[in-house]
Amino acid sequence: MTTRTQVTIIGAGPAGSLLSHILTLHGIDNLVVERQTADHVLSRIRAGVLERGSVDLLTRYGLADRLLAERFVHEGINIAYGGRSFRVDFAEGAGSSVTVYGQTEIQKDLYAAIGAEDGTIVFEASNVAIHDPTTDDPAVTFIVDGDEHRVESDFVVGCDGYHGVSRPTIPSSILRMWERVYPFGWLGILSETPPVNDELIYARSEYGFALCSMRNEMLSRYYVQCALDTDVEDWPDERFWEELARRLPTWAAERLVTGPSIEKSIAPLRSFVASPLRYGNLFIAGDAAHIVPPTGAKGLNLAISDVAYLAEALVDHYERNDGTGIETYSDRALDRVWKAVRFSWWMTTLLHRFDDDDAFATKLQEAELSYLEGSPAARAALAENYVGLPL
């Protein structure tokens, strides 16, 4: 069966769903194709920190009612090292704040909005393939319930993640990729316990990095740096809590409330950027185009900024016959991506222990942290990047 729409979007995660919602509000026909079930997409435990620009965008497009009612507003973070800790004040350094609101909740809000608009998401689509992306009639084919479907459109947008089909559709002779794989991961747990602090704690210790985060007032998210070959089965809850406590400053460890984990997993850390983000009438966005370590809380926010630029470009094309945004999308998005990659790399190297670090490297880390603690200008630079550079 062959159908036609204006924009075909591959991937119904936050990037693809948000783009679909914005296009629909502008009267641009679109179809979203997703290989997983809706329940699977909603079950992903992902990011929870939103930049000010991300919140503004979600608000502008009518997606923030529940977010604004239930969110936690954080005006700083705490950094611990060498037995002491200090606070980076976002309001003082950048005149803004960040919002803690889980990605799962954003996804729920997006699906509710798309459903209310009678938008179309095709779930459980297998054998997804992109055809003729450099022509005026690119097509996406897929199979649902044994039936083959072909959707022709003006544009195809790949929001299908690192392992999706969209990025590999760009010929290797054109596509460039940069990658930095870090020699460790994060062992994370989710627990129905009150957060240890009302703001995030980033801790560097002789035992490795730790992060204290939260999803709500009775749902905490904690991480400890671990080896890449770590087996989750070797980390019962009791061992995790003990390891977390010894990496935290004393004041935080004494306030830590422990309990059974409801989710436990290991996430490797890496930086990855692909270029260009456009090939003919195919665009890629979000994790299909770039991945950053979670240290700087940038992954979801970069997906949102990609969508902001691409939605603006497509609206200009359809409403004003202006192709400038389409021509500049890749360069515009990548400029912001690389700045976020730099910040995430800096935060990661600042706070983690590397196996090959010698005494000199350790002293440099300590000096950098001491400088950050004592310098208002350095803290302001961190705050500016953390709350988010302008969209």
Question: Per residue in 118-144, pLDDT tens?
Answer: 889 999 999 999 999 999 999 999 999
Residue of 293, 294, 309, 317 marked catalytic: 294
Beta bridge partners of 203: 80, 210
Each residue's pLDDT tens digit, 191-210: 999 999 999 999 999 999 99
- 51 lies in the same domain as 172: yes
Average pLDDT over the chain reads 96
* 251: in domain: yes
Residue 382: give its domain's CATH number: 3.30.9.10
Residue 156: give its domain's CATH number: 3.50.50.60
Active site residue 202: yes
- 135 lies in the same domain as 117: yes
* 228: in domain: yes
* Burial (Cβ within 10 Å: 0-12, 13-18, ≥19) of residue 307: buried
What letter does residue 55 receive in the DSSP assignment? H
Distance separating alpha carbons of residues 261 and 220, to the nearest angstrom: 10
Q: Beta-carbon neighbour count of residue 327 at 10 Å? A: 12
Type of residue at 188: G
Active site residue 290: no
- 104 lies in the same domain as 40: yes
User: Where residue 44 falls among pLDDT bands split at 50, 70, 90?
Assistant: confident
Residue of 81, 279, 309, 386 marked catalytic: 386
pLDDT at 330 over 80: yes
Q: Long-range contacts: 333-337, Cβ < 8 Å, 24+?
A: 333/277, 333/285, 333/289, 333/305, 333/306, 333/309, 334/273, 334/275, 334/276, 334/277, 336/302, 336/305, 336/389, 336/391, 337/273, 337/289, 337/290, 337/302, 337/306
Residue of 101, 202, 223, 309 marked catalytic: 202
pLDDT of residue 357: 87
pLDDT at 45 over 80: no
Each residue's pLDDT tens digit, 46-72: 778 999 999 999 999 999 999 999 999
Active site residue 108: no
Distance separating alpha carbons of residues 186 and 28, to the nearest angstrom: 41
Reported pTM: 0.95
Type of residue at 7: V
Helices (H), 222-323: 237-247, 250-253, 299-320
Average pLDDT over residues 78-102: 96
* 90: in domain: no
Q: Can you spell out the DSSP letters for 172-202?
A: TTT-EEEEEEEEEEEEEEEESS--SSSS-EE
Q: Over the Cα atoms of the chain, what is R_g?
A: 22
Distance separating alpha carbons of residues 344 and 389, to the nearest angstrom: 13
Active site residue 101: no
pLDDT of residue 235: 97
Q: Which residue has the tokens 């760009």?
A: 170
* 264: in domain: yes
For 375, the domain range is: 182-269+355-387
User: Where residue 182 falls among pLDDT bands split at 50, 70, 90?
Assistant: very high
Active site residue 329: no
- 115 lies in the same domain as 259: no
- 247 lies in the same domain as 337: no
